[in-house]
Amino acid sequence: MRRRHFLAAATGIGLLRTRAALAGPRDWLDAEVNGMHYKVLPPDAAAPPPHPVVLYLHQLDMGDWPDGLLQQVNPWFNTAAFRSRHPCIVVMPLLDQKKDPAGHTINFGGDRHGHVGEDNAMAALRQVMAANPVDPRRIYITGNSLGGMGTWAMLLAYNRLTGRQGRIFAAGMPLAGTDRSANPVQAARTLRHVPVWAFHGAHDTKVSPAWDRHMARLLSGARTFRYTEYGDLGHEIWDRTYTRHDVWSWLFAQRGPA
């Protein structure tokens, strides 16, 4: 397996074109921004640019266990089937939550406190976008639990239509998420024309599905909004969701405005 498909530049994350194509899993590459570590999964060398980008936000405490996090996400992003269907760059920030294991202040957004993790995750995404030939109309975000909360928050702040902090994301998929800092009525107005597919387990006792259900009611007439609730699952819905081909086909079919 060849590892060096990225330039050894200051960021270490610029794509290096080679003639060899990779059919199987790749090594994740390590990078850092503002003192935060993050990992990048490059596409196969044969995949023609510009590349879509997925910003993936992990659940609580997994940034402190990178080996376990990779074991979790590799069956989703780093298989031959996924990579051949959806050649893309995956950006995965790693939050250091050792001093805040509950995620009250160190999170990806969507909670009542804390914004450093959100800002650094966006800095990592921008760093990768600046160093590689990416398609700015196909930048996506998804995450589960703590990452699902961050997905809602970042979609509100950075969507391609009305993002108040920069128009970046064409679409997003929050899993088992909520937003404890946003007004749902205003959020629904902001996201009415933004492609969002939300997922939740009906028996989730860790993160209530109330926000997602409320958004589903408020956005019931929006053609760009989808909500899937698993009647037989609780909080951990990610393996079922992220291994569905239709989910990824939907996401990568979305395009932001030029």
pLDDT at 196 (0 to 100): 98
Tell me if 159 sits within 8 A of 165, measured CB to CB.
no
Q: What CATH fold (topology level) applies to the domain 6-253?
A: Rossmann fold (3.40.50)
Instruction: Of 100, 92, 31, 29, give the one whose Cα is nearest residue 60.
Output: 100
- Strands 89-93, 134-144: pairing kind: unpaired
pLDDT at 115 (0 to 100): 86
Amino acid making up residue 105: T
Q: What's the predicted TM-score (pTM) here? A: 0.92
- Rounded to 10 degrees, the C-alpha dihedral 17/127/253/218 comes to 170
Tell me if 106 sits within 8 A of 96, measured CB to CB.
yes
pLDDT, tens digit (0-9, with 9 covering 90-100), for 50-74: 999 999 999 999 999 999 999 999 9
- With residue 197 as reference, give the H or E element that holds it: strand 196-201
pLDDT at 13 (0 to 100): 65
What is the Cα–Cα distance from 157 to 165, expressed in whole angstroms? Answer: 5
> Which tokens sit at 217?
């009611």
DSSP3 helix / strand / coil % (the chain, rounded to 5): 30, 20, 45
Q: How does residue 12 score in pLDDT terms, banded at 50, 70 and 90?
A: low
Q: How does residue 21 score in pLDDT terms, banded at 50, 70 and 90?
A: very low
E strand segments, 34-133: 36-41, 51-57, 89-93
Q: How does residue 100 score in pLDDT terms, banded at 50, 70 and 90?
A: very high
Instruction: Of 182, 173, 123, give the one whose Cα is nearest residue 151.
Output: 173
Spans of all domains in the chain: 6-253
pLDDT, tens digit (0-9, with 9 covering 90-100), for 191-237: 999 999 999 999 999 999 999 999 999 999 999 999 999 999 999 99
- Distance, first Cα to last Cα, the chain: 37
